[in-house]
Amino acid sequence: MKKVVSAVVTVIFILSVAVVVWAGIANTKHNLSVTGPGTIKAVSETRICVFCHTPHGASPARPLWNHTLSSQTYTLPTSSDPQWSNLLTTVQQPDGDTRLCLSCHDGTVAIGSVVNLPGPAGGAGTISMQGTAGGLMPPAAYGFIGTDLSGTHPVSIAMNDALINDKNACTQTGAYTLQYPPGGGAVRLRPTSNTYNGQPGQLITTPTGFTYNGGVQCTSCHDPHIETTDFLVLGTGSPDPTKGHPGNWSALCDTCHPGTCP
Ligand code: HEC
Ligand code: HEC
Ligand code: HEC
Ligand code: HEC
């Protein structure tokens, strides 16, 4: 019964924010319905949320998740890669929100593949898409990540006091210092079961009383519903050569990395 009540509450919650979310997402590439602005979109399906959410018969992954998950094992960033030479964490396989993103972005599961098709029949099936490579995200697509995550900021990493202390001890010249993103801000720690030095991520309590162990996930930096460049929660697309990258994401990075070690 508790489960049913919480499911109903979640459905009401989703419906009540639907209008707000709809307004943001409709003009983005995450509008995968036939009205979407991107090249990858449905042949005829008009619903927007269905590719990712369903009110009924959802996958056990939250929140009311509808997209078929990927079962890939990923290549992960390690400290032997020059780009990540100062990495203290041993990156573990993705979990939580990151697996939701990778269910389309790793290019191994059809974009239209859902747990519960829209309409009265329902059930698992695939919504017909255009602009795909045999239903999959094409490797040449701007949004393609693939199964090699070694070029992406480490994700599904637990962030806790031990990691922050170790980073801020500054044993490596040029390493980034580390701090928690401020509570209630745009950059958020998201649930992960992974650990650092055997310890879980910082215990976080949401305003509605849920608790979880926090870490860095794709959704710490991206919100898949908002109308910003690359769905970034902070930062702009303008160049910032001082940080060695073509876009100005200083505000985003500085939220967790306030400085570099001497
Ligand atoms: C491309 C995939 C995608 C589409 C399309 C999408 N969402 Fe989501 N949504 C997600 C992901 C991933 C999460 C979990 C991450 C998060 O909480 O930010 C989520 C979370 C949510 C949540 C829960 C937030 C929370 O804090 O638990 C709500 C509510 C929601 N979506 C509403 C909608 C509505 C309404 C639509 C359609 C207008 C929609 N979404 C379309 C991917 C999508
Ligand atoms: C249901 C499939 C699906 C899911 C789930 C999904 N995406 Fe996407 N996403 C797409 C497609 C399709 C595109 C367009 C790719 C292209 O045209 O190159 C896209 C594009 C993007 C882009 C590029 C935006 C732009 O304007 O060019 C980003 C960034 C992105 N997604 C991040 C995410 C993140 C982060 C998540 C998880 C929170 C996520 N996506 C979940 C399907 C998905
Ligand atoms: C620490 C912050 C951060 C995390 C974590 C992160 N991203 Fe990004 N992402 C960015 C920034 C900043 C950009 C824009 C710069 C760029 O193109 O590299 C970006 C760009 C993208 C793009 C646009 C195409 C591209 O490759 O540049 C996609 C798609 C994307 N991210 C998806 C993801 C997915 C999926 C995850 C989780 C596996 C993820 N991101 C994790 C910060 C992040
Ligand atoms: C939500 C917090 C968060 C944000 C935002 C964030 N990072 Fe990180 N970053 C981390 C954590 C946690 C680690 C793991 C530290 C370790 O294990 O050494 C890390 C590790 C790194 C590392 C490897 C370790 C080091 O000291 O060099 C680099 C490089 C890095 N981040 C760059 C970036 C850049 C660039 C951005 C902005 C696009 C960014 N980060 C945004 C939390 C974050």
Quick one: what percent of the chain has pLDDT higher than 90? 74
Q: What separation in angstroms does the CA of 41 have from each of 31, 34, 52, 53?
A: 8, 6, 13, 16
Residue 175 Cβ inside 6 Å of ligand 4? The answer reads yes
Q: Is 122 left (phi over 0), alpha (psi -120 to 50) or beta?
A: left
The tokens describing 48, both together, are: 């927007």
| 256 CA distance to ligand 4 middle (Å) | 7
Predicted confidence (pLDDT) per residue in 227-245, tens digit: 888 999 997 666 666 655 5
Residue 101 Cβ inside 6 Å of ligand 3? The answer reads yes
Beta carbons within 8 Å of 192's beta carbon, 6+ residues apart: 95, 96, 156, 157, 158, 201, 213, 214, 215, 216, 217
Cis ω for the linkage preceding 63 (within 30 of 0): yes
The tokens describing 227, both together, are: 């109308």
Q: Are 155 and 93 in contact (CB under 8 A)?
A: no
Rounded Cα distance between 95 and 217, Å, is 8
Ligand nearest to the CA of 42: 2
pLDDT of res. 120? 83
Closest-CA residue, ligand 1 atom 1, reads: 30
- Which residue from 145, 147, 250 has its CB within 8 A of the most atoms of ligand 3, so it is best to mutate? 145
Rounded Cα distance between 237 and 8, Å, is 39
pLDDT at 192 over 80: yes
Predicted confidence (pLDDT) per residue in 118-177, tens digit: 888 889 999 999 999 999 999 999 999 999 999 999 999 999 999 999 999 999 999 999
Rounded Cα distance between 169 and 162, Å, is 11
- Count CB neighbours of 62 within 10 A: 12
Residue 138 Cβ inside 6 Å of ligand 2? The answer reads no
pLDDT at 90 over 80: yes
pLDDT of res. 235? 77
